[in-house]
Amino acid sequence: MSISPQEASIATREICQLAPIVPVLVVHDVAHARPLAEALVRGGLPALEVTLRTPVALDVIAEMAKVEGGVVGAGTLLTPADVKAAKAAGAKFGVSPGATDTLLDACEAEGLPTLPGAATSSEAMRLLERGYDMLKFFPAEANGGAPALKSIGAPIPQISFCPTGGVSPKNAESYLSLPNVVCAGGSWVAPNDLVNAGDWDAIEALARAASQLPR
């Protein structure tokens, strides 16, 4: 079932509004998938972005999709093949570092709501022209951080963003305080050392702290 850019933006905006932080996850072991997702959801972060950066990423998405209360998406979508595979694995949304017509065509055809990436005003305007008004600002810190995003928002207030890339507990509030930011993507809530140690309580605590960030 296909989806329009407008429908995609509405759906992704609703997902982004679930919590102030969307965990950006790079998972190397399928066995970690369900307990990790359960810990993050318990901590108040239901929207989960599993990046397609590991050989087991699709299997991880499939496992996390079984977790009650979670909304699992696929990050690092680059090709139509990625889109098809992510949708088949159970992803409810997609995230891409940038955007091409080929990729967006595939997302729309597959009915996968997608958060397309933009780093400049021109990229954001082009996506708005196509019908997308909920975007990913990436890489956020490398592109000037919150001040840059604030500047982009002044002339294009109808676009909202999820900044990702270099977002941390130290600067998250500076992003979340902006009127054109709905949420932010962050990896600090699931650090590799805690995941590898299976310390789900510690991850739940990190998630709970992130879920309480003001916006």
Give the model confidence (pLDDT) of 108-118 as tens digits. 999 999 999 99
Give domain limits for the chain.
5-211
Choosing from 49, 108, 110, 204, the catalytic residue is 49
Choosing from 38, 110, 136, 204, the catalytic residue is 136
C-beta of residue 209 within 8 angstroms of C-beta of residue 197: no
Known catalytic residue: 84? no
Note the pLDDT of residue 135.
98
Note the pLDDT of residue 79.
98
Note the pLDDT of residue 38.
98
Reference 204, options 187, 190, 184, 215; nearest CA is 190
Residue found by looking up tokens 């996850």 in the block: 25
Known catalytic residue: 38? no
Average pLDDT over residues 27-47: 98
CATH number of 5-211: 3.20.20.70
pLDDT tens-digit series, residues 143-196: 999 999 999 999 999 999 999 999 999 999 999 999 999 999 999 999 999 999
Average pLDDT over residues 133-149: 98
- Assessment of whether the complete model's pTM goes beyond 0.85: yes
Note the pLDDT of residue 19.
98
Q: Compute the radius of gyration of the chain from its Cα atoms.
A: 16
Half-sphere exposure of 54 (CA within 13 A, CB side): 15
pLDDT tens-digit series, residues 79-99: 999 999 999 999 999 999 999
Note the pLDDT of residue 44.
98
